[in-house]
Amino acid sequence: MNIGLGGRGNHNDRGNSVRTYIKNGESKATITIVLTNEGDEAYDVNTYGNRITIERVISAASNAGSKYTIRGSKDNKVISTKKSDIDRILDRLNIQLENPVYWMSQDRSRQFLQEMKPAKLYQIFVHATELETMKNCYRRVMDYLNDFDQQLQLMAKRLPELEQKARTLKEIVKRHRNVNDERIQLNTFGWMILWIPVRDALHKRIDKEKKLEKAKDALEKLDAEVESITADKNKVEEEKAAAIAEIEELSGPTSSVAAQVTEKKQQVRVAFQRFKQAESQARDKNNEVRCRSQEMATVRKQLDKLLESGPSQTKDAAQKIQEDIERNEQEMLAASNGAE
């Protein structure tokens, strides 16, 4: 039973290996054990049912291990082939293969009966109740506690240094977070700067659209004014055409009169030119007369001086000058009459 439930060969005092339990001349051995699975301590009744069949196949080959098969009472089908599942079943059913209270080989039973002494019984009791194991566990725990105390003392000595490092690390982490926040903020500002031209362009577009709407309204008004002016122009053109037609009708009878008027204008222009020429000649004659008058006045002064001198020769010269003066006066009179 011990071997069938997964026990080791050296625990049964019949050999060091389970292969020694195989019958001579056979290549393998099969052990089948059926366990009752009922009561409050039953193991997974829904899966295994009220009976659990454990089968162990031991091979004589040195390189082959044991094979386990676990079946339930339902349809006798294989539920598991793992040794760990057998160990869980044994723990649930409280079957301890290495505890002498639960299991004792023939040799150990004979030795127990022959050496039934208090020390031996106490040794069996300690082994059965695992007090030795617990003692070893407590000893290891104490060793752990001592190690922990030493570690605590070391940590207490290093605590200020570690606290300083922790503060330094916190400061570094804080700076990194600030740098990260500033990086995020810088990234945000970068995107904002990238989108500012788009925003400005959008505002300009809105302004341009508003101006375009105003220009369209003004253009519509101008179109209306142009249409009105065009209508007025057409009306004026019609009136002009009517006036031209009327003038053409009136210009026929007056063409001869216009020719006569043109001829008279030409005659008047020629007479005016002649008048201008005569006026210029008269101006020249008047200038000449003025010059002669000045000369005559000078001569008269000379004549008076000669007459006062008294000699006969002087009288003769004065007489001659008097004749010249009279002749010049006649010429001046003639010139004046010609100028008029």
Residue 159 falls within a domain, yes or no? no
The Cα 81–Cα 85 span in angstroms is: 8
Q: CA 283 to CA 271: how far, in whole Å?
A: 18
Q: Please indicate, yes or no, if residue 179 is contained in any of the structural domains.
A: no
Residue 105 lies in a domain: no
Read off the pLDDT of each residue in 285-306 and give the average, rounded to a whole number: 65
CB neighbours (10 Å) of residue 53?
Answer: 18
Q: Is 70 helix (H, G, I), strand (E, B) or coil?
A: strand
pLDDT recorded at residue 326: 67
If DSSP codes are grouped into helix, strand and coil, which group holds residue 67? Answer: strand
23 has a pLDDT exceeding 60 = yes
Q: What is the pLDDT of residue 254?
A: 52
Among the candidates 98, 132, 154, a domain finishes at: 98
C-alpha angle with apex 166: 165 to 170, nearest 5 degrees? 115
Can you give the pTM of this predicted structure? Answer: 0.38
Q: Are 126 and 134 in contact (CB under 8 A)?
A: no
pLDDT value at 309 more than 70 = no
Structure tokens at 264: 């008279």
Asked, for residue 64, whether it belongs to a domain, the answer is yes
Using the 8-state DSSP alphabet, how is residue 310 labeled? Answer: -
Tokens at 337, concatenated: 């009459």
Evaluate whether residue 74 is within a structural domain. Answer: yes
Give the chain's end-to-end CA distance (angstroms, integer): 186
Domain membership of residue 333 (yes or no) is yes
Total domain count, the chain? 2
pLDDT at 305: 67
Rounded to 5°, the CA angle 30-34-35 comes to 140
The closest of 70, 74, 81 to 49, measured between CA atoms, is 74
Q: For strand 78-80 and strand 51-59, is the pairing parallel, antiparallel, or unpaired?
A: unpaired
Instruction: Determine, yes or no, domain membership for 331.
Output: yes
Final residue belonging to a domain, choices 98, 117, 152: 98
Tell me the mean pLDDT in the region 196-211. 86
- Please, which residues have CB within 8 angstroms of residue 129's CB and are 6 or more apart in sequence? none
Contacts 24+ apart (CB under 8 A), 149-155: none
C-alpha triplet 319, 320, 322: angle, nearest 5°: 65
Strands 67-72 and 51-59: antiparallel
According to the model, what pLDDT value does residue 250 have? 65
Distances (CA, A) of 36 to 45, 69, 97: 11, 16, 17
Crossing angle of helices 118-129 and 131-251, in 10° steps, is: 10
At 34 the pLDDT is 92
% of the chain with per-residue pLDDT over 70:
72
| Domain closes at, from 56, 77, 98 | 98
Residue 182 belongs to a domain: no
Instruction: Give the separation between CA 126 and CA 135, rounded to whole angstroms.
Output: 10
Q: Can you give the residue range of the structural domain that contains 317?
A: 287-339
**Rounded-to-integer distance, Cα 161 and Cα 263, Å:** 135
318-339 tens-digit pLDDT: 566 666 666 666 665 665 555 4
For every residue of 219-271, DSSP letters joined together read: HHHHHHHHHHHHHHHHHHHHHHHHHHHHHHHHHTTTHHHHHHHHHHHHHHHHH
Q: Which residue has the higher pLDDT, 148 or 302?
A: 148
What mean pLDDT do residues 270-281 have?
A: 70
Q: In what order do the strands lie in the sheet with 78-80?
A: 28-36, 51-59, 67-72, 78-80
